[in-house]
Homo-oligomer: A and B are copies of this chain.
C-alpha cells in the first residue's frame, strides 16, 4: 500500500507519496504560511496531503497511513507539539488530534531529525542496521537514534535531542540559551563562525579570496581552502572535526550503534570529512580498544530521508 510522508517546514510543507519499496513516486510542495497560526497551517497540511494523493490518482482512503515530520519537540504518542520555533503559535498544540479530524487514515508524527534516521535506516545508508545514530548538521544539529530496530525517543518521546548534549561545560553559548551544547560547536552556523574567526586572524588566508568569489563565507569556505592547502583553513577544519568526533564518540559510548550517519550540507564533503572523523573517533570513544568503533558514514537520501521516514513512522 502507498503511504504519505509529510515534512512540515517553516517555509514549505512538502508531501511525498511513498511506495512499498521506499520509493517516492510523487512530490508536492505548498508554502506553509507559518505566520497564519496553528489551525490555518493544519488546514494547509491536509490540503497538501489531498493534493499529493490526487497526483497519483488515488483517494486518501487508499493510503496505509500518513506521517508527519515536525521541526520541534513533539510527543509522538500524544501527538502534542510542545514547541516548534519556526511555526508561529505551535506551543503545546494537539497536532495529531487536529490533523486527524481532517484526514481519513491513521496519522503519525515525529521530530524531523527522527524521521530522517528512520528513512536512512529503512532505505538509505544504514539499510539493514538495527542500531543507528544520525546527526544532521545544519543551522542547528539534529539528532536521531534507532535502537534495536526501533526509533529511540526517550521518556514522553521528547528525548534524543543529541544536539543539546553538553560537549564543553561552560563553553560557547548555544542558540537554545545553554552553554557548551554540541550544536554550539558542530552546527554549520558554528562552523561558519569558526571560519570567520580564523579569517580575521589570518588576513592572508586563501579563504578571503574564496569567500569573495563565492559571495559569502559558508560551510564550503574552509573545506575547499583546506583541500587547496591553506594552513589556516586546515586548522579550522581539523579543529571542527575534533569537536565533531568528540561528540560522536560520546554518542557511541551511550548508544553503541552499528553505524553513525552524518547528514546535512557538510556531509557533501564526503570522504574528506568522513576519513577525518573515522580516524579521530577511537580517541573519543570509551573502550574503543576492546570494542572498536562503528564507521561514520555519509547519509545518502538527503531530504528524501525525512519524507520516507515520516511515511514509515508507524512501523518504528
* A interface list, Cβ under 8 A from B: 73, 82-83, 91-92, 130-131, 147-148, 152, 154-156, 158-162, 164-171, 176, 178, 180-181, 185, 243, 246-247, 249-250, 253-258, 283-284, 286-287, 290-291
Contact = CB atoms under 8 A, between A and B. Distances in A.
User: How often does this chain occur in the complex, in copies?
Assistant: 2
A254 B256 contact: no
18 contacts: A73-B290, A82-B291, A91-B290, A131-B156, A154-B255, A154-B256, A155-B256, A155-B257, A156-B256, A158-B287, A158-B291, A161-B254, A164-B286, A164-B287, A165-B165, A166-B284, A168-B170, A169-B243
A284 B255 CA distance: 21
A158 B148 CA distance: 13
Contacts of A131: 154-156
Contacts of A185: 169
A166 B246 contact: yes
B253 A159 contact: yes
A278 to B, nearest CB: 17
B253 A161 contact: yes
A73 B154 contact: no
A247 B185 CA distance: 18
Of A249, A255, A283, chain B has the most CB atoms within 10 Å of the CB of A255
A287 B83 contact: yes
Contact of A287 (B73, B165, B168): B73
B254 A154 contact: yes
A86 to B, nearest CB: 15
Nearest to A143: B254
Contacts of A249: 166, 178
B286 A176 contact: yes
B82 A159 contact: no
Contacts of A286: 161, 164, 176, 178, 181
Contacts of A168: 168-170
Contacts of A166: 166-167, 246-247, 249-250, 284
Nearest to A130: B155
A155 B82 contact: no
Contact of A147 (B92, B155, B176): B155
Contacts of A250: 165-166
A146 to B, nearest CB: 10
- Top 3 nearest A-B pairs (CB, nearest first) are A131-B155, A155-B256, A164-B286
A73 B185 CA distance: 30
A265 B82 CA distance: 38
Nearest to A249: B166
Contacts of A92: 290
Nearest to A153: B256
Nearest to A83: B290
Contacts of A246: 166, 169, 180
Given A82-B291, A167-B169, A178-B284, A255 B147 contact: no
Contacts of A148: 155
Given A165-B250, A250-B165, A256 B158 contact: yes
